[in-house]
Amino acid sequence: MSRTYGQIVATTDLHSALDQGHRILPHLHALKETSLIVDCGDFFEGTGYYRLGKGAIEREILMTLYDVLAPGNHGWLHYFEPGLREMTVCANAADATTGRPLFDRLRVVEVHGRQVAVTAVIGVSAFHTIPAAQRAGHHVTDPVTALRELMLEHHHHVDSWIVLSHSGFDEDLKLAGACPFVDVIFAGHCHSDAYGPVHVGDTLVVKGRELGAGYAAAEPVGSGWAARTAVFPTPATVPDELAVLDEQIASTCQMLATPLGTVNEPYRDAVLDRHRLLQDIAARLHTGLGAGAVILNDTALRPAHLGDVLTLGDLLAIEPFDNQLVHAFLPDRYAEDPNGLLMHLTEQTGPLAVVPWPLPQGIRSVLTTDYLADTHLGGRTHQAGLRLGEVVRRTLATTLPDQEEGAR
């Protein structure tokens, strides 16, 4: 199919929200004939669709409907897979040993007769949230410096610059101020209520709604660009070309509907307060496992609305990352400075659930997730033999009577 691009359409932070497939797939399919379809990262991880399918459906959607991708911190390794790697661009991710770019640094496409450079950056903070083992041998440079170098190399044959950024909306406002040659920055990563478009000089910063709710679009107007946001329309029939994908989503949806238990009263018929749940879990683990201290980060879980019955889909949406619980031995500098430890972790990951409070002086190890231990505590651990998801399930719900009978 010969395509003439009239606009650029950008999604971001879908996080495997494939329950929105009947809204997303038909609309992107209809837009694709006249639009360059791009994504600003984190297309993977976040629901049971990913946990059960290991990203296969998401990969097929990207390969079928999208043209250019920015890598996100979630699903980082997927962007190196054959097919996806060729679609991925990034100006500031490099091999830590050789300094060679990990991906192509830009694409040049024609939009309304203009030669448009489409590139991407991943924020330094976003990069450092990638599990340590996944980013081993990789590093990122300053996005501003990387974009300026790219512009100097290619300005002679490019009319416009588009940046797909996985850095956060506030960071992208700063990026726009530092790189006034950029026409449009499509933002991602932040999950904030800021969507724009916001003008920073002549640069537009805009973000589509996360979790499959919407998208952003930009097109040349006069000598500049215009940008807007839009929501995906009401569900529609999926076109025949995407029927296999639709069937795969439907089959996974049936599995995710499996009931696991009756939701306990404090959490029933409400949007989950993940900090409260993690505090309950930390207290339970501190008592039940005899751990000297428990530290869990709020972002290990995702909020979800719970009804009367906890389903497999609910559980995997709440704990989508399959965290193992481990005993982590603290670096020496934190053993006598537990407050410094908590400040460090809070700066890196956000709010924490901590039991006991305050942490005892001289503590040598804590019970935590393998993610926190490996990424922020040096990786010296031994297994606790328990997954966070198991504890979430036991804390949230009471096993259904027929499941108890089946267990006997």
pLDDT of residue 159: 96
Kindly report, residue by residue over 218-256, the tens digit of the pLDDT. Answer: 999 999 999 999 999 999 999 999 999 999 999 999 999
For range 143-154, the mean pLDDT: 97
Distance separating alpha carbons of residues 263 and 256, to the nearest angstrom? 16
pLDDT of residue 2: 65
Write out the two tokens for 311: 């389903």
Q: Are strands 184-186 and 203-206 parallel, antiparallel or unpaired?
A: parallel
pLDDT of residue 333: 84
User: Can you name the CATH fold of 258-407?
Assistant: 5'-nucleotidase;  domain 2 (3.90.780)
| 198 membership: H or E segment, kind and range | strand 198-200
> What single string gives the DSSP state of each residue in 17-60?
-GGGHHHHHHHHHHHTTTEEEEE-S--S-SSHHHHHHTTHHHHH
**What is the number of alpha carbons within 13 Å of residue 402 lying toward its C-beta?**
2
Is the distance from CB of 171 to CB of 151 less than 8 angstroms?
Answer: no
pLDDT of residue 335: 79
pLDDT of residue 130: 95
pLDDT of residue 288: 84
Is the distance from CB of 203 to CB of 223 less than 8 angstroms?
Answer: no
pLDDT of residue 408: 42
Q: Is 162 helix (H, G, I), strand (E, B) or coil?
A: strand
Kindly report, residue by residue over 121-145, the tens digit of the pLDDT. Answer: 999 999 999 999 999 999 999 999 9
Average pLDDT, the chain: 94
91 vs 336, residue with greater confidence: 91
Neighbouring CB atoms inside 10 A of 354's CB total 22
Neighbouring CB atoms inside 10 A of 358's CB total 10
Is the distance from CB of 44 to CB of 74 less than 8 angstroms?
Answer: yes
Distance between the two ends of the chain, CA-based, in angstroms? 59
Neighbouring CB atoms inside 10 A of 133's CB total 11
Q: Where are the domains of the chain?
A: 7-252, 258-407
Question: What pTM was estimated for this model as a whole?
Answer: 0.92
260 vs 330, residue with greater confidence: 260
The CATH number of domain 7-252, selected from 3.40.50.2000, 3.40.50.300, 3.40.50.970, 3.60.21.10: 3.60.21.10
pLDDT of residue 251: 97
Distance separating alpha carbons of residues 394 and 311, to the nearest angstrom? 13
For residue 324, pLDDT over 90 is answered with yes
For residue 159, with 0-12 CB atoms within 10 Å meaning exposed, 13-18 middle and 19 or more buried, which class applies? middle
For range 287-313, the mean pLDDT: 93
| 390 membership: H or E segment, kind and range | helix 388-396
Q: Provide the pLDDT confidence category of residue 3 given band limits of 50, 70 and 90.
A: confident
